[in-house]
Chains A and B, each alone.
Chain A
Amino acid sequence: MRALNRKLLRDLATLKGQAAAIAMVIASGVMTLMIAVTTLDALTLTQQRFYEDFHFADVFADLTRAPEGVGERLRAIPGVNRVETRVKASVRLEVPGFDEPVRGLLLSIPDGREPLLNQLYLREGRLPDPGRADEVAVSDAFAEAHGLRAGDPVLAIIRGRLTTLRVSGTVLSPEHVYQIAPTDLLPDYRRYGILWMNRRALASAYGMEGAFNNVALSLEAGGSEAEVIAHVDRILARYGGIGAHGRDDQHSHRFLHEELKQLRAQAVILPTIFMLVSAFLLNVVLSRIIRNQREQVAVLKAFGYRNLDIALHYGMLTGLIVALGSALGIGLGLWAGSGLAVIYTEYFRFPELSFRLQAWVILLSVGVAAGAAMLGTLRAVWGAVQLPPAEGMRPEPPARFRKGWLERSALRHWLDQPARIILRNVGRHPLKSSLSVVGIAMSLGLLVMGAYQLNAVDHMIDTQYRQVMRMDLHLTFSDPTPARVQSELRHLPGVLAVETYRAVPVRLLAGHREYRTSVLGMDERPYLRQLLDGQQRPQRLPPEGLLLTDYLAQDLGLRIGDRVRLEVQEGHRQTVTVPLVGVVDEPLGVGAYMWRPAVNRLMREGPAVNGAWLLIDEQREAALFDRLWDLPGVASVGMISESERNIREYMADTILMFALVFVLLATSIAFAVVYNNARIAFAERSRELATLQVLGYSRGEVSWILVGEILLLTLAALPVGWLIGTGFAWALNQAFSVDMFRVPLVLTPGAYGFATAVVLAASVAAVALVVRRLHRLDKVSVLKAVE
């Protein structure tokens, strides 16, 4: 092996601690990008394949009832490819062994075969036998939650009659990748199930023979969704159609889309921040390591090594570290990325995860890391080779001495000599010192950002469930019910308070933007379901006008006072224009709110409601449930504590999982940076410190010079780091707002405290390591080795 290469390996061995720390920084950057991009890619690709292979429809429409022949007219619409008419019904289910109410959705499939659209992926068993009226295929998540196997019974209340259904198999559908009950935010597989039944059996159970109440269509290549929707609406208007919609408003697709959008934001922002920080640190640290070798550079040059040879030599040193870090980052990133993708499949039900390794991701992440590292290296090498060798071989001259504030101030009288040395060392190399400070501050900033994510999600859920949703139970009725149901509910055992609401599906239009949601008609001063303003104060509903979640108002480009077109999607399907009278600050979900009588007026109905919120006495919960379950009009009973638990679990599994990984990485980066700073300070000062020790300074005093410098820089970095972290959190927050939730930009003292504690701990550890090294330092050999 060439002597130069030997030098390379030996240098690497000498720098092993620092090299490992730098490799860790690179690995973190690479890993972050790998995790984000792999997860995102796996989900996107899986979604695409599932949609294609199982013919996910493009347009969907609900209606009251249309004769089967209408299907032919839909098929004839220009731009339409396939049409699948269906019967669809909401049911209440009972699963043997599970006490609580379960909501179900029954969907028809053609007798004994796969539908043309929204085909089913059979996970286990078979599709319902065409000859059997009682067989159903159930969604695999529901089956899994209840341990249902082929042949097991499920009870359904179909038009008031308790009917026993048999499970024929478990299936997945592209239409229900995200299986969520209409009013929920998150899947609850135990309390909501989707069942597929033979068309004839389902039709006869609901009096829908020869008719359909739901239709799915696919578009021809180049077919216009908007035109088809308009056409479908015209045809179905007579049959109680409530407005066809595209995939964008399809529940499952919308959630998946939102989740991917949020993941994409995370995949861009977080790795970008990480890579930038890593790049900066690599640049600084490597250039300082190389600068310490300037004498060797001069020797090599003196003997005729060309600048290129020298650049290559140090480039290889850096290259090895980068390679090591990248390999580690790729490995960890793939492992964590695939793990995270698997977690996501718990929420998004796909047949199987399509997982692939994308060369460009690896190239990109390694390229950024290597680029940054090389830039730092070559910058330093360039500085070193530019010196004439004669000069390079002499120790670097100290920067020109100036009488700084220290020499002039009164402070110097009570500072001891070591303290003065510390301050001079720091003050004489302002650039070096400030780069160290910025480096530490950046790692601190990463930690603040990580801690912010962990804290803010908690804060968000707390706000939602302590201040916004103050009820215990949420009831929905199958049909609008007279408002007096409120006092009936109030008298049920254990009920402490009741508020009712009227929810109506609407389409909101503002300019060319639109949004489908439900408008909630509520009491004038709702207490159990609060509408908070920007200062977290409850708002009251005015007799006229609409309130929107601030995020939705922004999304629609609306300001208070603007007018919104509101198309009711039910009943007489009125269209009115109402003013936006206020915005609601709520972290989870989006909604539209009006005074209930105004909604009733809109529906041209009397005082009717179709949902209620209950505050209950937990002691009597069981008795209450028995009674609720027997009320005929109740379609669903949701426990708020349950949904809170669900959302916490979901956040913990997804965002927080991400955040935790980042906190771990940020912690290791903080250690790496602080340790490297300490080691470099040690390398730069060891000769001076050995000399001082030989001159009679005690070990303690000498250690203090080094430790004091490190601590001084660390302390200076704290406020800068808090500031940087706040900036990072802000950047992340900007990307974090989606329909489903908006993590608020709340930076708790805890987040700063945690980040600061980690950095201080890292400093103490690094200081301990360096001091140990200082004590082992062979003074004689340091002094003997002429620089």
Chain B
Amino acid sequence: MAADAAKQAEGSRNREVVFETRGLTKTYLMGEVEIHALQGVDLDLYAGELVVMLGASGSGKSTLLNIMGGLDTATSGSVRYRDQDLTHASEKALTLFRRDHVGFVFQFYNLIASLTARENVAIVTEISRDPMPPEEALALVGLKERLDHFPAQLSGGEQQRVAIARAIAKQPAVLLCDEPTGALDSKTGIQVLEALKHINEEMQTTVAIITHNEVIGEMADRVIRLRDGRVEDIHEHERRREPGELRW
């Protein structure tokens, strides 16, 4: 057992670093008041791993994920994606980075209301290099019966699953998910997590999942805890549990 753990740790250490943040801060200015959403985050994410980020509401999880995904820029510090420096990347470079490497699942779904489920996925696969068909992506999240429904005709959980299908359909190198199961019951939640794990294992996609659900942490290679805009704790798992084994 101990040897195993050592080996795993060794393996982690040897693994290729995908994201590397150093001294990352983000300050929002609200009138006279400064809000320090991130206050110096040093974090590495490795290729092919699945991490879960936990932390109280307002601890800066979404902010960190957005900056890593090139959706937002940091106030100070640096972010790298493999050998690309995102800190000083141009707007154009960030766009290409997102297009070619990143899949997002947003906390608030952000589907396009005037497009059906299938079209919401297609709008992303149409500009991707090596996508899976939108139908296949929707089947993975259990929505192959609802291809032609508009967001307004879907429940919150179903909308969330469309958002996940949209993120995985392009088969991205990294998948950044902001509370993908927040709106789902445990059965559907597990289904979604299985889809994420599937992508992670099949395509060596690096997956980061933000959640408030401690249980989900058990399926991760590592659990990262944020508190007040700082990394409070990183916990490595020797063995990831199957989503199917999780209960909440």
Contact = CB atoms under 8 A, between A and B. Distances in A.
B95 A306 contact: yes
B81 interface: no
Contact of B156 (A304, A309, A784): A784
B104 interface: yes
A304 B123 contact: no
Contact of A304 (B111, B127, B151): B127
Tell which of A2, A3, A7, A11 has the most Cβ of chain B within 10 Å: A3
Interface in B96-154: 96, 98-100, 102, 104, 106, 108-115, 119-120, 122-124, 126-127, 151-152
Nearest to A4: B123
B112 A785 contact: no
B98 A3 contact: no
B73 interface: yes
B168 to A, nearest CB: 12
A197 to B, nearest CB: 77
Main secondary structure on A side of the interface with B: helix
Nearest to A400: B31
A301 interface: yes
A388 B98 contact: no
A303 B123 contact: yes
Contacts of A132: none
A303 B127 contact: yes
B66 A390 contact: yes
Contacts of A234: none
A303 B99 contact: yes
A654 interface: no
Interface string A384-414: 0000111101000000100000000000000
A7 B95 contact: no
Contacts of B104: 302-303
A296 interface: yes
A307 interface: yes
B91 interface: yes
Contacts of B247: none
Contact of A295 (B98, B99, B100, B110): B110
Interface string A292-336: 000110111111111101000000000000000000000000000
A786 interface: yes
Nearest to B69: A302
A394 to B, nearest CB: 8
Task: Give the interface residue-count category, chain A.
Answer: 20 to 34
A430 B214 CA distance: 47
A10 B108 contact: no
B56 to A, nearest CB: 20
A305 B119 CA distance: 15
A786 B95 contact: no
Contacts of A298: 110
Contact of B115 (A7, A302, A304, A306): A7
A305 B127 contact: yes
Contacts of B115: 3, 6-7, 10
Contact of B71 (A3, A296, A309, A388): A388
A535 interface: no
A781 B119 contact: no
A290 to B, nearest CB: 14
Interface in B20-74: 31, 62-63, 66, 69, 71-73
Contacts of B166: 303
Contacts of B124: 303-304
B42 to A, nearest CB: 21
Given A303-B104, A303-B123, A7 B112 contact: yes
Contact of A3 (B31, B63, B108, B122): B122
Contact of B126 (A4, A10, A784): A4
Interface in A728-787: 781, 784-787
Interface in A1-41: 2-4, 6-7, 10-11, 14
B127 A391 contact: no
Interface in B195-234: none
A389 B31 contact: no
Given A3-B115, A4-B123, A4-B126, A304 B98 contact: yes
Interface in A703-750: none
Contacts of A389: 71-72
A685 to B, nearest CB: 17
B124 to A, nearest CB: 5
A305 B102 CA distance: 12
B13 interface: no
B91 A307 contact: yes
A636 B9 CA distance: 119
A590 B10 CA distance: 105
A644 B100 CA distance: 79
A7 B151 CA distance: 13
B95 A304 contact: yes
A302 to B, nearest CB: 6
Contacts of B152: 781, 784-785
Given A2-B126, A388-B71, A785-B151, A393 B95 contact: no
Contacts of B62: 390
A306 B71 contact: no
Nearest to A306: B95
Nearest to B156: A784
Interface in A586-636: none
Nearest to A6: B119
B96 A300 contact: no
Contacts of B95: 301, 304-307
Nearest to A9: B114
Contacts of B31: 400
26 contacts: A2-B126, A3-B120, A3-B122, A3-B123, A7-B123, A10-B115, A14-B114, A299-B111, A301-B95, A302-B69, A302-B106, A302-B110, A303-B99, A303-B123, A303-B124, A304-B96, A304-B99, A304-B127, A305-B127, A306-B95, A390-B62, A390-B63, A390-B71, A393-B106, A393-B108, A785-B151
Given A305-B99, A786-B109, 14 more contacts: A7-B115, A7-B119, A7-B123, A303-B98, A303-B99, A303-B104, A303-B124, A303-B166, A305-B95, A306-B95, A309-B127, A390-B66, A390-B71, A391-B72
